[in-house]
Amino acid sequence: MPKRISNPNAQVALKDFIGRENNYIHFEYEDEMKQYEMMKNGDPGAADESHKMMAENTSTLADDPVTNMKYLMICNATLMTRFAIEGGLNSETAYNTSDLYIYNMNKCTTVQEVLDLHYEMVTFFTEQMQKLKKQNVYSRQVILCMDYIDHHLHESIRLNDLAAFVKLNNNYFSTLFKKETGYTVSEYILSRKLEVAENMLRFSDYSCAEISSFLAFNSQSYFTQCFREKNSCTPAAFRKAHFNKHIKGRHK
């Protein structure tokens, strides 16, 4: 069990004094919240604002500068996640984004690497909020099926399964989905699987064969064919160009 802090009131008062003597003052609440509101609103300047706040932050959470910056990033990621959810981002997407960047933050060895990864994280959150604002308003049945698809991308998803899930006949559901999304059901499923594949190629060290199998493609060659049609390159070439620099692994 960790040792209790001796006389915390006195220690907080001492930190206040040292901060004033060295001009180390915490940011005003409104100034600190600005970055989160910008991200929540999809403002392209959010990453620059947040990076500036991080780089100028004088809070001391650890003696080691790298560890201190990591702690600050964790605090920042927590608030980014909460504001993103408040802005309408799917909670699982928000929490998984935070987990992903914090996991890779632990591999950073310099303050600059942490700052770079933090900038990337805020940019990603902001882009998700921008996409959210551009989305159309869908019917309840279509939204339910989109959620179903997202939770079953590792399986073979059939039209009749989705129609039965929302208690509609196949033809009516197929027409409704196409009308609202602009995609056929099969096109949408493939599009989502390829988006997940792209992120796995960027942020994981799973092999192309493993990704193909995980996303329930009929074969690796079919996965490669579909991926090439969308991205004009093979999965392997995409990974080589986009693999996250903070991840070290056995990517193939």
Q: Where are the domains of the chain?
A: 9-134, 140-242
How is residue 230 written in tokens? 């969308």
Q: Residue 118: which pLDDT band, with cuts at 50, 70 and 90?
A: very high
Q: How far is CA 104 from CA 82, 97, 120, 135, 247, in A?
A: 20, 11, 12, 30, 6
- pLDDT over threshold 50, residue 55: yes
pLDDT at 163 (0 to 100) = 96
Decide if 206 contacts 236 (C-beta within 8 A).
no
pLDDT at 137 (0 to 100) = 65
CATH number of 140-242: 1.10.10.60
Q: Residue 193: which pLDDT band, with cuts at 50, 70 and 90?
A: very high
Average pLDDT in the 212-227 region? 97
Q: Give ∠ CA 191-96-106 in degrees, rounded to 5.
A: 125
pLDDT at 244 (0 to 100) = 61
Q: Read off the pLDDT of residues 16-29 as tens digits, 9 standing for 90 and up.
A: 434 444 444 444 55
Give the residue carrying structure tokens 């632990």. 106
pLDDT at 76 (0 to 100) = 92
In angstroms, rounded to a whole number, what is the distance separating the alpha carbons of residues 150 and 161?
Answer: 14
Decide if 176 contacts 139 (C-beta within 8 A).
yes
